[in-house]
Amino acid sequence: MKISFDQFHKLWNGQDDFRLRELDCGIVLKAVCLDTMCDDAKVSAFVLQPIAYIGRADSIVEVEKKLAAGTGVRKPPNLFAAVEDFTNGYTLIFDQNDNCISVDTRTVIGRSIAEPPTSMVMRGPREGFVEDIKVNITLLRKRLKTPNLKIINLAVGKYTNTAVAVCYIEGIAEQRIVDDIVQRLQSVKTDGVLDSSYLARYLDVSKTFLFRRIGSTEKPDIAVGKMLEGRLAVIVDGSPMVLTVPYLFVEDMQSPGDYYENSAMTTLSRSLRFISVIASVLLPALYVCLQVYNYQIIPLRFLITVLNASEAIPFSPLTEMLLVLIVFDILREANLRMPSAVGISLSLVGAIVLGDAAVQAGLLGAPAVMIGALSGIGLFTMPDNTLILSLLRLLVTFIGGVMGLLGVIISTMTILVYLASMQDYKTPFLAPFAPDIPEDRQDAVAQIPVPNMKKRPRSIPNENSDRRG
Amino acid sequence: MDKNRVQVGQLALLYLLLVMGGKFLTLPSLLAGDVGHDSWLSVAFSFVWDGICLCFLLWAVKMNSDSHLDLSAILEKSVSKPVTKLLLIIFFVIFILRINVLLSSCYKMFSVTFDVSTNWIVYVLPIAALSFFAVAKGFNAIARMGQLLFGLILLAVVALFVSPLLEVEFGALKPLGEAGWDKILLTSYTRSFWFSDYIFIYFVLDGIKVKKTVFTPILISFAVGAFLCILLNAVFVALFGYLAPDFDMAMSKIGVFSAASTTNGRWDWLTLSIWLISVFIKVMVFIFCAYKCIEKFVGSNFVKFNWIAAGIILLTLSLPLFVSTEQLLGTVIKWGVIPFTLVQYVLPLLMPLCTKAAKRKTEVNNE
């Protein structure tokens, strides 16, 4: 649609923060901006002062050339682009013939770069993404000083018109995946995008929504690390969470600090995470079904202890375990919503007072509370999938309690079939284990020293597998 | 992505799981009843024939690697449509019978060994649901799951084997061929229903992704699987002697030797449960094949999961409600040996020729 000042004026006139200045420098110019989105100093320095000092100009092209003090001067191709610039804090200058230029006068409001609370590290960079897309791109550029870092800018959301940047390294990321993701983002039809998690749902190809299929990180070093493996980073204005695509299940087991520690230590901690997650999901179910159906498996001494502890409990082992797990989930949910100071007290009240009181009162057995707590804590080694794993744990425990070992086997196999069937952007979710990709196992659970990682992972489609430059 | 695509490596691991899953249930006692302590020889002969047929089938797989024709396309183009339909019916029957025998053996194991008696329907429904879920997700998902669980299952089998292997007196297997070589050979034929696990490969022919070699990984799997089965049979009859025919759950009886003392708990049950996963994987694969039989028989590609086909398979799983496993093995399978031999042992030998003919016909049609 062609730009027309009258149309534009009609759209915005009457808004409290709408500012219009008429200027005469040989030709009559009209400068408009949104007071709330623009920096007054920039408007003055990049628009008003240069025009005032131009003297005479014959056309808007001449004005554009003389506004050289502003770094971001451009010609919006249509009304839609002009509105987008305007709402983002640009000042628009119209001449009498409805020619228009936009000057970057955006205000910088937002928090400063800090260590992200969700990805604390002992060693390694402490910078984290912020809500401002420009700052976030800067954080990537700071680490990727190459013209091969490509950024595709998009606007998503009918009303929010949220700026979205798809970042990738040309020559590493596979172009077909880039095109696919850009196309998916362009086809998003929604009122608004308030956070990157909104777009994650649109990028989830198979739309299963059960497991997280799109990676997210708050740390630029992690985002760059993933881009160097062939992934894409999707930055959304207003969100400190940068999405990374494609995504593997094994990434959930990797912590930001893994690459800055000794690889032997990393291997150990990743193995512990794996074991604790598997144990968290299966332990309550096994405890219940062994106690109810196959108590012969439990060693005699342990069995006697368990029986003594649960003798006076008024609930069946299944009900008892489900109660423990549900109470633990309630505590976790409450803890998340509470201010951090109160949260600590709540954890203590929940863990010590509630658990101990329940055992003392004879409502719950100590072994069940212990297994429930162990299982609950174990899930936190995989923070992004805690909720879904917690749900699966309840389900497997219920089935195990009703059907015994057969139920545990069947439900575990169902989960595995489901996980194994997932494949987005030509990337199998369970790679490098299923399908087995031996080369990629160098940085899955076990990690070899970084200098020995000479190839990019095959699980992630890429155009250049050699990492040695 | 083609959800039925499978790599040769995945196929090899799955094949090994299939060989191990199911042959350690009632088969050792049945063989011991037939030929006494020479049952392991009977197993060995069966595997020799299996090995030859497998080589021919793999040859066909290799020939088909560039054309990706499926079983019905190969058969229809090389023999004829009616013969293809007939073969598919035989395939369907063999798969359904094998699924039923496997499930009823597991059912027995749960009720006898684990003391968990349940209704057949309640027992079968979750397994069928899992299998249909896997069918809907594609063969690729089954193969990947097999790949994930392979190490664990192998570890469980080894854990179950170690203790009895240390205690067994292999001298009890002497004299060799006491039952008579002709009887041993005949038994390996009459009990052939339990073998030729490679028949599932027919139904993934079009999805096999051959990169380098197809023979080596699958033949290694076959050799390992065959060795474990022969060894287990030998250990079983050597340990239990003339009592072997009465112990119909070989793996659970062998597992007893792994439990050093009851005060330490029956950890062998846990390893036994892990091994049972391989039986369920076998059931899943056979249900997938039975589903494919229906798909190919009606001559259409089920793009979405077909509930009617699933319903037919589910109905056939109620067979043990009307016929006991003993009756099944004694009558249906006894008389079915001849048609079954056709698809188990004759068709694989002809598959390279059929594939070649089908390929030639496809090329001519394309020209």
End-to-end CA distance of chain B: 28
Q: Name which of A208, A282, A287, A297 to mutate to probe chain B: the one with the most chain B Cβ atoms within 10 A of its Cβ.
A: A297
Please state which CATH number belongs to domain B6-345. 1.20.1740.10
Q: Tell me whether residues B265 and A303 touch, CB distance under 8 A.
A: yes
A200 and A307 share one domain: no
pLDDT tens column, B178-227: 888 999 999 998 888 888 999 999 999 988 988 778 889 999 999 999 99
Higher-pLDDT residue of B60, B262: B60
Which pLDDT score, from 0 to 100, does residue A399 have? 94
Bridging pattern class, strands A73-74 and A100-104: antiparallel
Q: Tell me whether residues B147 and A296 touch, CB distance under 8 A.
A: no
* pLDDT tier at B262, thresholds 50, 70, 90: low
Helices of type H across A404-450: 405-421
Q: Tell me whether residues B144 and A430 touch, CB distance under 8 A.
A: yes
Chain B residues with CB-CB distance to A413 below 8 A: 130, 145, 277, 280-281
The domain boundary residue, chosen from A224, A247, A270: A247
Higher-pLDDT residue of A208, B278: B278
The domain boundary residue, chosen from A88, A104, A120: A104
pLDDT tens column, A214-224: 999 999 999 99
A87 and A176 share one domain: no
Nearest C-alpha neighbor of A467 from the set A216, A227, A177:
A227
Nearest C-alpha neighbor of A358 from the set A321, A390, A332, A411:
A321
Q: Tell me whether residues A417 and B265 touch, CB distance under 8 A.
A: no
Q: Exposed (0-12), middle (13-18) or buried (19+): which is A24, by Cβ within 10 Å?
A: exposed
Q: Name which of B144, B150, B211 to mutate to probe chain A: the one with the most chain A Cβ atoms within 10 A of its Cβ.
A: B144
A16 and A47 share one domain: yes
Give the gap in angstroms from C-alpha A467 to the nearest C-alpha of chain B: 25
Which pLDDT score, from 0 to 100, does residue B271 have? 85
Domain extent, residue A165, equals 133-247
Query: What are the residues facing A149 on neighbouring strands?
Result: A169
Contact at 8 Å (CB) between A229 and A464?
no
Give a yes or no: residue A22 inside a domain.
Answer: yes
Which pLDDT score, from 0 to 100, does residue B259 have? 59
CA–CA gap between residue A434 and residue B147 (Å, rounded): 6
Please check the confidence at residue B263 and state whether its pLDDT lies above 70: no
Asked if B209 has any chain A CB less than 8 Å from its own CB, the reply is: no
Please check the confidence at residue B320 and state whether its pLDDT lies above 80: yes
* pLDDT tier at B96, thresholds 50, 70, 90: very high
Residue A160's contacts (CB-CB under 8 Å, 6 or more residues apart) are A191, A192, A193, A194
- Residues 3 through 22 of chain B touching chain A, CB cutoff 8 Å: 3, 7, 9-10
Give a yes or no: residue A426 inside a domain.
Answer: no
End-to-end CA distance of chain A: 46
Give a yes or no: residue A433 inside a domain.
Answer: no
DSSP A77: S
Asked if B1 has any chain A CB less than 8 Å from its own CB, the reply is: yes
Average pLDDT value over all residues in chain A: 87
DSSP A330: H
Give a yes or no: residue A334 inside a domain.
Answer: yes
Q: Which two tokens stand for residue B292?
A: 């494919």
Which pLDDT score, from 0 to 100, does residue B115 have? 67
The ipTM of this complex is: 0.92
A233 and A265 share one domain: no
A168 and A308 share one domain: no
CA–CA gap between residue A181 and residue A176 (Å, rounded): 9
Give a yes or no: residue A216 inside a domain.
Answer: yes
Contact at 8 Å (CB) between A434 and A418?
no
Contact at 8 Å (CB) between B40 and B240?
no
Q: Name which of A399, A409, A419, A445 to mutate to probe chain B: the one with the most chain B Cβ atoms within 10 A of its Cβ.
A: A409
Share above pLDDT 70 across residues of chain B, in percent, rounded to a whole number: 96
DSSP letters of B52-113?
Answer: HHHHHHHHHHHHHTTT---HHHHHHHHS-HHHHHHHHHHHHHHHHHHHHHHHHHHHHHHHHT
Residue A290 phi, psi dihedral angles, 5° rounding: -70, -35
> Which of A256-270, A341-355, B240-254, B349-363 shows the lowest per-residue confidence on average (mean pLDDT)?
A341-355
Please check the confidence at residue A308 and state whether its pLDDT lies above 60: yes
What kind and span of H or E run contains A168? strand A162-169
Chain A residues with CB-CB distance to B133 below 8 A: 414, 417-418
Of B126, B263, B267, the CB nearest to A410: B126
- Nearest chain A residue to B275 by CA: give it: A409
Share above pLDDT 90 across residues of chain A, in percent, rounded to a whole number: 39
Average pLDDT value over all residues in chain B: 88
Of B110, B126, B148, the CB nearest to A420: B148
Bridging pattern class, strands A232-236 and A215-217: unpaired
Chain A residues with CB-CB distance to B145 below 8 A: 413, 416-417, 420, 434
A143 and A65 share one domain: no
Give a yes or no: residue A123 inside a domain.
Answer: no
Please check the confidence at residue B269 and state whether its pLDDT lies above 70: yes
Give the HSE-up count for residue B23: Cα atoms under 13 Å, Cβ half-sphere. 31
> Which of A110-119, B177-186, B246-255 shows the lowest per-residue confidence on average (mean pLDDT)?
B246-255
Give the gap in angstroms from C-alpha B360 to the nearest C-alpha of chain A: 33
Residue A240: is the preceding peptide bond cis (ω within 30°)?
no
Give the gap in angstroms from C-alpha A120 to the nearest C-alpha of chain B: 32
C-alpha dihedral, B225 to B228 to B234 to B238, nearest 10°: -150
Chain B residues with CB-CB distance to A435 below 8 A: 7, 9-10, 144, 147
* pLDDT tier at B16, thresholds 50, 70, 90: very high
> Which of A29-33, A234-238, B363-367 shows the lowest per-residue confidence on average (mean pLDDT)?
B363-367
Asked if B130 has any chain A CB less than 8 Å from its own CB, the reply is: yes
A279 and A379 share one domain: yes
- Nearest chain A residue to B11 by CA: give it: A435
The domain tally of chain A equals 3
A294 and A159 share one domain: no
Which pLDDT score, from 0 to 100, does residue A69 have? 65
Please check the confidence at residue A67 and state whether its pLDDT lies above 80: no
- Nearest chain B residue to A290 by CA: give it: B270
Q: Tell me whether residues A421 and B138 touch, CB distance under 8 A.
A: yes
A17 and A75 share one domain: yes
Please check the confidence at residue B258 and state whether its pLDDT lies above 70: no
Higher-pLDDT residue of A96, B226: B226
Which pLDDT score, from 0 to 100, does residue A62 have? 83
Q: Tell me whether residues A417 and B277 touch, CB distance under 8 A.
A: no
CA–CA gap between residue B334 and residue B189 (Å, rounded): 10
Q: Tell me whether residues A294 and B267 touch, CB distance under 8 A.
A: no
Q: Tell me whether residues B277 and A434 touch, CB distance under 8 A.
A: no
Q: Max alpha carbon distance in chain A (Å)?
A: 99
A379 and A265 share one domain: yes
Please check the confidence at residue A265 and state whether its pLDDT lies above 80: yes
CA–CA gap between residue B57 and residue B18 (Å, rounded): 17
What kind and span of H or E run contains A217? strand A215-217
Q: Give the sign of the dihedral formed by CA B343, CA B348, CA B353, CA B358.
A: positive
Please check the confidence at residue B294 and state whether its pLDDT lies above 70: yes
Q: Tell me whether residues B140 and A430 touch, CB distance under 8 A.
A: no
DSSP A395: H
A80 and A226 share one domain: no
A281 and A336 share one domain: yes
Give the gap in angstroms from C-alpha A446 to the nearest C-alpha of chain B: 16
